[in-house]
Amino acid sequence: MNRRDFIRASALAGGGLMLAFQATAQLDNTAASEEMLGDFIRITPNGDILFQFVKHEMGQGVSTAMAQIIAEELGADWQRVKIDFPLANMARYQNDRNGGHDTGGSCTIIYQWDLLRKAGATARQMLVTAAARQWKTTEANCIAENNFVTWKGTSRKLSYGELATAAANIPVPIDIPLKESCSYQIIGKPKNAKLVPDIVTGTIQYGLDVQLPGMLIALIARCPVFKGKLKSYDATQALKVPGVKKVFTTQPIAGLQTDAPYMPHDIREGVVVVADTFWAARKGKEALEIEWDEGPNAKYSTEDFEHLAERRAMHRTDPTGYIGDENAVSNLTHVRKTLRASYIYPHQLHACMEPLNCTVHMQPDGCEVWMGSQAPNLIVSELKRIYHFPEEKIKVHLFPSGGGFGRRYYPDMAVEAAFISKEAGNVPVKMIWTREDDHQANLAHLFQYMEYQVALDKDSNLYAWYEKEIRTYTWAAKYADPQLPSMAYDIPNIRFDFEDMIADELVHSSAWRGVVSHGRCYSECFLDEIAAELKKDPYEFRVSLLRHGRDIYTGDQYPVSAKRLLGVLTLAAEKAGWGKPLEAGRGRGIAICPYGNSYCAAIAEVTVRDQKLTIDRITLAADCGNVINPSGAANQLAGGVVWSLTALLYGGLPIRNGRAIYTNFHQNKLLRMNECPKIDVHFVDSDDEKPWGVGEISTPLGVPSVLNAIYAATRKRIRKIPLAANAFQV
Amino acid sequence: MAKIQLLINEKRYTPEVDPDMPLLWVLRDIVGLTGTKYGCGIAQCGACTVHLDGKAVRSCSIPVSTIGERKITTIEGLSRKGDHPLQLAWVEEDVPQCGYCQAGQIMQAAAFLKQNAHPSDEEITKAMTGNLCRCGTYQRIHQAIKRAATTTTTQPPR
């Protein structure tokens, strides 16, 4: 990559340094492709370092980790670093994943790493130059650290705050050397998340907490059946509720939003109640009389859908990729025995603790939006597409959110709220999804049906692996490039088939923390089945298949490294005490996986007595390269396991006659403290100096590791979750 | 609509509201104290936990007209400077991820520690099981409560 950096500095009104860092990167092989990258720091005269955070903080800790990176190179006093949430700016932060607002795929830190270090180092150099000029000495005599520039060998020092305004007038230097990792004082050190003090005092503002003068509250009664439509409604009673101002339909904006630039979303038809308070809007909503045309899904249920998936799984499609002989499982000359199994990962709800919401104030020539969003860029592009406002007239205020998990990537909330604000007479409106709406008319995690078959040769070696994935969600082209299972096991013949079920959907599928890795990690259960067939220890069996140590190209962005998988597997086994005897009714299970370019292993320890399952302990080992914030990363890995255990025990989104059965948390249970196992997190001392993602890496592992542990304890194979619906008392 | 007298964080308010309105929405929509969170509306998640005369309650399920003279404490009023032992412990243990449920968790824990200053691990778990955390920070919540219980010890533990 041939990269030229442009850094602009300017004096802040009221004194101080504003550093805008932009780089134009040009890929050598695609001369026309040009990306803008950007970020900011502001240094105020009193010495506060205000990190301009343009990504989305949804609990994954990136605001703190990004600030650590820039603060390290800047030589900042960590206590003086603060997180600022500026307005979204499409011109400055273009949506190219690297520099844009877009937050997802566990990519934020890795894509920002170089940029933030350069930005910090450049600002530090400018402060040094400013000090050297003031003292009339050489820059080599000046050391910048801990928010001060000091003159070596003297007692003279100037604070960053005192230097900021002078530094802003210095020409921006280029090619500033970066620190050696051995001298890091902030990167790699456990730091408490910057937002914690505001969280524990209740002063942090999420999108749902926005208050504006004259603001109204809107709730929507959405069609309970996917693909259904509004037939008629009567608002007479609703309009009698004190505080209810207006009732109208969302039909003009409803439907599948396929014109969206990517990641199509769905807006269900509904009836809006606008009122002065949430409570009045809720009473008004309950008083609505609505008749729905339930459409093609009116008689469709989860069982029908799963049967359809099962039938699809039975036949072969064109492989999306293969190694060796694509039909090796059927090769009678070599094959002694075949094993076959299918696994289901059902739809899941995101259930973000902060219910979905968006506040919009429409005006004749533009609008303002207040929302915690993973993709404010999509909000801008959707509002531009629908209302033809120029980008600069769509002001999006960025907020942290009470959980995103992929759901807050989609811009449907902003489209709904903008429409409502306009119809309500261009007044500011906060549109809220009730928790019941969240359960009954929402996008959901994609469904996966995994079909596996393996062939063993006469020496009981793993000769061929066949895998077919059936899924309800794709990004764009369905695997335009060859794709293989996400694993690095030494198997001479591997084949991967894929089929989508988008046209047959029960609900609109979307990305859910961990996305496609969940179903695809069932390969770790099937591998356990093979080990059991061969009477091999699940750990030793994996080690034997990974010992080759090579990188396997599976069609994903990064190859899967057998060496790194082996590294996390070995560490987890050591820490979990793999092989130590357990009493009857107890068992351990392993699962390992890559995610992006991170690797993780989980070892679950369970007790099953009288069909009652207790998950005692989960030991995690991760290789995420350079860990920026060990405290935040450990929190992510532990939380990711809890995420998967909820899906394992209680998850799913059962649908009967088109309608979601669950209405709220009394039916859709989430894991609670009394069910939470002890979770130990260990990091491999990685050779990799780059910081790879940690937000999703552990999420696919809770399910297969616990299912394998249940098998070890009971000799019972479970191939479908949740366990609560599978004769297990949990 | 009715005028209702409330004592919130030692301050008097007299909002004119629907008497059925849950305390949660009076706090958030009328009084403007947004630290108390809406999570489920049916007392299943604990995000809306506040204190009534020092006892933890789910404000989403208490009609404002039933409160009477009882003193309401929200997360904003738990301590003057954000220095309640639990708030400090939450920072020390770096508990939160998204943070949305944490005000409710802290309010639940604060009422619990008042009744049981030296809880066992099991007692902590039992007291906190009504509060959901979708990010899965349970282990650190538990550690923070233990830390706060230890640091506030004025008499030897049982």
A28-64 pLDDT, tens per residue? Answer: 222 222 222 335 788 888 899 999 899 999 999 999 9
Residues 6+ apart with CB under 8 A from A552: A484, A487, A488, A559, A560, A561, A562
In chain B, what are the domain boundaries? 2-77, 85-149
CATH architecture of the region B2-77:
Roll (3.10)
A240, A353, A408, A649, best to mutate vs chain B, most B CBs in 10 Å: A353
Give the H or E element holding residue B13. strand B11-13
Residue B85: is the preceding peptide bond cis (ω within 30°)?
A: no
Of B29, B41, B136, the CB nearest to A643: B136
Distance CA A117, CA A102 (A): 20
Chain B nearest CA to A627, separation (Å): 16
Neighbours of A252 (CB within 10 A): 11
Chain B nearest CA to A534, separation (Å): 37
Residue of A494, A203, A219 whose CA lies nearest to A356: A219
Structure tokens at B153: 């010890």
Supply the pTM of this predicted model: 0.95
The CATH fold assigned to B85-149 is DNA polymerase; domain 1 (1.10.150)
Chain B nearest CA to A297, separation (Å): 27
Distance CA A509, CA A264 (A): 10
Rounded to 10°, the helix B138-151/B85-92 angle is 130
pLDDT tens digit sequence for B60-97: 999 999 999 999 999 999 999 999 999 999 999 999 99
Check B98 against A400: CB less than 8 A apart.
yes
Q: In terms of DSSP bridges, do strands B6-8 and B2-3 run parallel, antiparallel, or are they unpaired?
A: unpaired
Check A641 against B103: CB less than 8 A apart.
no
- Torsion of the alpha carbons at A203, A209, A214 and A220, rounded to the nearest 10: -170
**Cα–Cα separations (whole angstroms), residue A336 to A116, A328, A352, A452, A460:** 56, 12, 49, 17, 8
Helices (H) and strands (E) in chain A, counts: 16, 34
pLDDT tens digit sequence for A627-657: 999 999 999 999 999 999 999 999 999 999 9
Give mean pLDDT, residues A602-606: 98
Check B98 against A639: CB less than 8 A apart.
no
Using CB atoms and an 8 Å cut-off, which of residues 11-50 of chain B contact chain A? 17-18, 20-22, 25, 28-30, 32-42, 44-45, 47
Distance CA A649, CA A505 (A): 24
Torsion-angle region of residue A657: left (phi > 0), alpha (psi -120 to 50) or beta? left
User: In this model, does residue A74 exceed pLDDT 50?
Assistant: yes
Give the H or E element holding residue A649. helix A630-649
**CB burial readout A10-42, b (16+ within 10 A) else e:** eebeeebbbbbbbbebeeeeeeeeebbbbbbbb
Name the pLDDT band for B51 (thresholds 50, 70, 90): very high
Residue A157 bridge partners (DSSP): A150
Give the phi and the psi of residue B28 in degrees, each rounded to 5. Answer: -80, -50
Percent of chain A with pLDDT over 90: 81
Residue A480 vs residue B12, higher pLDDT: B12
Among chain B residues, the shortest Cα distance to A646 is held by B134
**DSSP 8-state assignment for residue B109:** H
B65 touches chain A (CB under 8 A): no
Check B137 against A635: CB less than 8 A apart.
yes
Give the phi and the psi of residue A163 in degrees, each rounded to 5. Answer: -90, -15
pLDDT tens digit sequence for A269-310: 999 999 999 999 999 999 999 999 999 999 999 999 999 999
| Dihedral sign from CA coordinates of B82, B86, B88, B93 | negative
B49, B121, B134, B137, best to mutate vs chain A, most A CBs in 10 Å: B134
Q: Are A578 and A539 in contact (CB under 8 A)?
A: yes
Of A193, A202, A670, the CB nearest to B132: A670
Distance CA B86, CA B145 (A): 7
User: 3-class SS at A335?
Assistant: strand
In the prediction, which pLDDT does B60 show? 98
Residue identified by tokens 């820490």 is A575
Q: Are B108 and B23 in contact (CB under 8 A)?
A: no
Structure tokens at A263: 């990641």
B73 touches chain A (CB under 8 A): no
Distance CA A401, CA A356 (A): 9
Structure tokens at A1: 């990559």
